[in-house]
Amino acid sequence: KFWPQRLPWLLCLAMTATFMHTPPALARGETPVDQLVIGMSMINLLSLDPAGATGLEVSEVNANVYDMLLEQDAARPDQLIAAL
């Protein structure tokens, strides 16, 4: 009766001891020279769908990711010009 009852605990203890004495793998990711990485909280980013943009954070990401099809003309703000 000793082994069937205690076998799961002994396996768990052996696995825990193995993982505690194994050093974690060092992951090193270097950013390429021509890229800028900006960190921000993703708590309010529910979706990056431009049609479902609900907050300032989503609008900010969408403005920097997607190209606009039309822009306002700086000389005549009531006119739209092609952006692409």
Q: Mean pLDDT by 10-residue block, N- to C-terminus, for the chain (84 residues)?
A: 74 86 68 83 80 82 84 92 89
Place of tokens 């609008």: 59
The values of phi and psi at residue 81, to 5°, are: -125, 155
Q: For residue 1, what pLDDT is reported? A: 58
How many helices and strands (H and E) does the chain possess?
2, 2
Q: For residue 79, what pLDDT is reported? A: 93
Q: For residue 59, what pLDDT is reported? A: 83
Instruction: Using a cut of 0.85, tell me whether the model's pTM lies above it.
Output: no
Picking from 83, 62, 63, 61, the residue whose alpha carbon sits closest to that of residue 72 is 83
Report which DSSP code applies to 70: E
Q: For residue 27, what pLDDT is reported? A: 57
Query: Alpha-carbon distance 60 to 49, whole Å?
Result: 12
Q: For residue 52, what pLDDT is reported? A: 81
